[in-house]
Structure 1
Amino acid sequence: MTSTEANSGGQSAAGDRRRWFALAIVMTAAFMDLVDVTIVNIAIPAIQRDAGASFSQIQWITAGYALAFAAGLITGGRLGDIHGRKRLFLIGIGGFTVASALCGFAANPEMLVASRILQGGMAALMVPQVLSIVHATFPAHERGKVFGLFGAVVGLGAVSGPLLGALLTEWNLFGLEWRPIFLINLPVGIAGLILGSRFITESRAPKALKLDLVGVVLVTLGLLMLLYPLTRGRELGWPLWGHLSMVGALGVFGALVAYEKRKGARDGSPLIELSLFRVKSFAAGIAVQTVFGVGLGVFFLVWTLYMQIGLGWSELRAGLTGVPFSLAVSTAAGLSVQKLVPRFGRKVLQAGALTMAAGVLLYLWESERYGLGIEPWQMALPLVVMGVGMGLIVAPLTDAVLSEVPRAHAGSASGLINTVQQMGNALGLGLVSVVFFGRIGDRLTPAQVGPEYADAFQYALGWVAAVMGAIFLLMFALPKRPAQHVEGAGEEPSERGAVADERQPEPVG
């Protein structure tokens, strides 16, 4: 069941049950990637002990994946537009599975680092196709339900990684120590490859596009110049070259924009479709997504460090503490798109930002009140409030960003969405060095570790609350309602022709 038409999966698939099997397959792949991003962190001590990895190698086990992933997302999305989203998805999930096997059977730290970089590169081919396939397969009136499910998957993936990593490491299956955290991807990936080849409908851009190699080089160079210093800056003592590299990245991005304008005017095949930014919902949503990524990048890292080092909890105890958060995100995400957004529109996302900020402030108050004696059950209430807030944002935000994007550029748009979130996360990790580690002394006695980490955690939470306030204000730039929830807006983007006219009046909320 294939088609080269951008519209292949839309109206013709409306009554086709196969598309729901395809959705389950791509959602499983998305969940696998989300888990893999976080599952490694919890097992780092075990990897260091068993593999004899140096501190720098440990850094690269996590950073190598993130850098390869972020640098390849836009290119991966565009390759799907050109060569077919199903084809690139299958290549990506197949390569991801092979890379996972190489990670699991790595003979030394160097092989593990190289395998993680390969894994991130394959994820960059696989992940952009998820939203592209959804966008090209489901008609507008069904996407609200679909993005609600996607938000639930995001919520589960957010904390399932640490919990699964803790369980697999503690169980020490077959005496393999940390290796099952990678090997668990093998049966999932093989099943996804087999079922995806059968049930996913092929789709691509309606006109022939060419890969913009200069654009690929510029976007990859710019992202590496920005993210590499942020990833390793603290370890290296924030050298001057790191600051110069980050400033230089802005120049590279400026050159990228200028080149993409000329490229688009010349042959209509730019890597980044700049016309997307004339769509108000897309431009505003990208800004919100970036800042939201900063907040998440700060919170999840300092939260893990606070529990495991500051409070001295085991990996399993820390992982189980996040379960209420995960359940709250999943529940709220499912309700937000299907029930709340059609009725209240943008206000749902803004309520999510304020709710998440309230949960962060409640967590801050409880951390100060209970000190180092705080228990997991006492963290449950603020985590549930934060989870509800996050759930009200993640699914509707994706819906809002893609609601008016033409199918021809679904891959490019999907790659941009994932890329800016990764950039936001990297910026958040860089900010952690200032708002968390900057509050902790260099040489601590055992008695000082707990109080210092608790104080730094509380300080960082104040920053996260401020980020949520900024997101609330940015959300005023979003359309009052996503296009498909407005009466008469069920028309497919491909049928409207090009990008939605920016002069189109904003729907009344």
Structure 2
Amino acid sequence: MTPGVSLQPATRYGAGLTARRKSIAYLTLMVALVLEIVDVTIVNTALPVIERDFGAAAAQAQWVAAGYSLAFALLLMLGGRLGDSLGYRRLFVGGVGGFTLASVLCGLSENPAQLIAARVFQGAAGAMMAPQVMALVQVLFEPRERVAKLAWVGVIGGLSAICGPILGGILIHADLFGLGWRSVFLINGPVGLFAMAIGWRLLPDASSPNARGIDFGGTVLFAGAMAALLIPLVRGADFGWRPWHFALLAAAPLLLALVWRRTRTRSDSGAATLFAPELFAEPQFALGLAIALGFGAATGGFLFVFAFGAQKLLGYSPLQTGLLHIPFSAGVMLGIAFLGRKLVMSRGKWVLVLGTGFMALFACGSLAWIAVGGSWFWVLPCLALAGTGMGMTSGPLTPVILARVDTRHAGAASGLIKTVQELGMALGIAMVGTAFFAGAPHGEGGAIWPAVAMIEALLAVCLVLAVLLPESLFPDSE
């Protein structure tokens, strides 16, 4: 993403647009933002129904969820660079168009392979669309106006992520036009067409005069490394962990080492790079990014297993499962809005430590409820407190990671954070989902305790990394 981009004078701050047209343009950007973020989590509620309708294998259900996040993460930084070079409006409208087409293809899929392919396409299109939202907010508004607009971007983005499972449950229960789970995807069609039409008409045609180019080779190597890691994690149990699975796992760190070496070499020569390697010279940035990866994996795995387990093991309907997410969502908003970001300035890293601890304790309690079948009086407080822990950690985490980053690299660093968070989601669904399915006796829907162990291990690593953060997180507080 490129929030620090320089703009040509003729296109600065929505030149030629009335206040009303700028507001409509901003609303259009928010609609696209909601589409992209909701589709990360909305599918969790639908997966058991999709699995039943298609007779899909567990690994295929995982790929329906993880394929989107993986494609999005791998292409996100490329989408930001293409926007710099080709124009933000062009990439935004093209990305929304691709996302809309992919959504329709998801809804029309006749087998798991088609659905997985459409989800990967959807994630790739989302990666072209999403970076342009932040860039176009800068194009449309002056710096003082931008503060409030960007604050709403955070609020809307957070609400979208946590409301996805709830919306999915409502849509499947409503069974609009007899479409069942397909409505979860097909509803994006008219919304996307609206965003395309308004976006092309109202959004300014701006690009960056300082575009650095694109490292296609680095992008391909990075994609290969992630594929080598995820394919064995998702498919290994189904095939009995054959030698080629271990070969792929061994190849993943080697490919990542090649990515790092290539990036350092190209950076030294002034060529375009996949990311800015100098960012990792700051320990707080590197530690924070590692926390974002692990915490994204833990929360992504938790949401996947909770939605799947409530339906497959307890027999809850998609609507009931969606409604169960309400206390979790309320807790997330409490943690973000009233606890995490306010307390981090005075309590520093201990807010992240406490939030991670809350998430570890009460996510375990929420999943234990599925294992033993307790009452709602048990699970609802657990979900609310798990959500509070998630909000206390995820809310201040991005400001903590960026606290010591040079402003020249703010755009590149923000894009890298989003990439790592999405990769964490994909890895979490692969790792925790595999533990859930592989730990169950043959013919059963899943096993909670192996999944809990994987989630707790991820959160334990995050907690240790949070403790290793410096006592003073923000330079002006030193």
Distance 1:295 1:55 in 2: 19
Corresponding residue for 2:192? 189
> Following TM superposition, by how much is the alpha carbon of 1:150 offset from its aligned partner in structure 2, in angstroms?
4.8
Distance 1:364 1:52 in 2: 25
CA contact 2:44–2:308 (8 Å) conserved in 1: no
Cα deviations by residue, 1:362-420 (Å, 9 ceiling, x for unpaired): 4467668xx32x23343110111111111122232123334555666555434422332
> Following TM superposition, by how much is the alpha carbon of 1:168 offset from its aligned partner in structure 2, in angstroms?
1.9
AA at the equivalent of 1:471: C
Distance 2:316 2:273 in 1: 50
Corresponding residue for 1:72? 75
Corresponding residue for 1:350? 353
Corresponding residue for 1:296? 299
Corresponding residue for 2:452? 461
Distance 2:467 2:379 in 1: 31
Corresponding residue for 2:477? 508
AA at the equivalent of 2:163: S
Shift of the 436–43 alpha-carbon distance from structure 1 to 2, 3 Å rule, reads: closer
Distance 2:161 2:286 in 1: 25
Shift of the 33–479 alpha-carbon distance from structure 1 to 2, 3 Å rule, reads: farther
Corresponding residue for 2:318? 315
**Counterpart check, 1:172 vs 2:175:** yes
CA contact 2:219–2:274 (8 Å) conserved in 1: yes
> Following TM superposition, by how much is the alpha carbon of 1:325 offset from its aligned partner in structure 2, in angstroms?
0.5
Distance 1:270 1:319 in 2: 41
The TM-score with structure 2 as length reference comes to: 0.83
Cα deviations by residue, 1:160-203 (Å, 9 ceiling, x for unpaired): 32222222222221122332111111233233334444665676
Distance 2:119 2:379 in 1: 33
> Following TM superposition, by how much is the alpha carbon of 1:312 offset from its aligned partner in structure 2, in angstroms?
1.9
Distance 1:407 1:134 in 2: 18
Count of aligned pairs: 471
Corresponding residue for 2:389? 389
Shift of the 50–361 alpha-carbon distance from structure 1 to 2, 3 Å rule, reads: closer
Match of 1:217 among 220, 236, 243: 220
Corresponding residue for 2:45? 42
AA at the equivalent of 1:423: L
Shift of the 70–233 alpha-carbon distance from structure 1 to 2, 3 Å rule, reads: farther
Corresponding residue for 1:273? 276
> Following TM superposition, by how much is the alpha carbon of 1:432 offset from its aligned partner in structure 2, in angstroms?
2.4
Distance 2:338 2:228 in 1: 40
CA contact 1:136–1:407 (8 Å) conserved in 2: no
SS in structure 2 at match of 1:269:
coil
CA contact 2:327–2:384 (8 Å) conserved in 1: yes
AA at the equivalent of 1:187: P
The two structures, once aligned, show a CA RMSD in angstroms of: 3.8
**Counterpart check, 1:473 vs 2:473:** no
AA at the equivalent of 1:357: A
CA contact 1:104–1:182 (8 Å) conserved in 2: yes
Corresponding residue for 1:378? 378
**Counterpart check, 1:99 vs 2:102:** yes
Cα deviations by residue, 1:218-265 (Å, 9 ceiling, x for unpaired): 122222222222232233333221221121121111111111112112
**Counterpart check, 1:324 vs 2:293:** no
Shift of the 145–378 alpha-carbon distance from structure 1 to 2, 3 Å rule, reads: farther
Shift of the 480–23 alpha-carbon distance from structure 1 to 2, 3 Å rule, reads: farther
Distance 1:122 1:392 in 2: 31
Shift of the 54–461 alpha-carbon distance from structure 1 to 2, 3 Å rule, reads: closer
AA at the equivalent of 1:420: V
Q: Which structure 2 segments of 5+ residues have no match? A: none
CA contact 2:25–2:203 (8 Å) conserved in 1: yes
Instruction: Give me the identity figure in percent.
Output: 37
Distance 1:279 1:197 in 2: 40
Alignment of 1:102-181 (within 5 A): 102-106=105-109, 110-131=113-134, 149-181=152-184
**Counterpart check, 1:261 vs 2:264:** yes
CA contact 1:367–1:458 (8 Å) conserved in 2: no
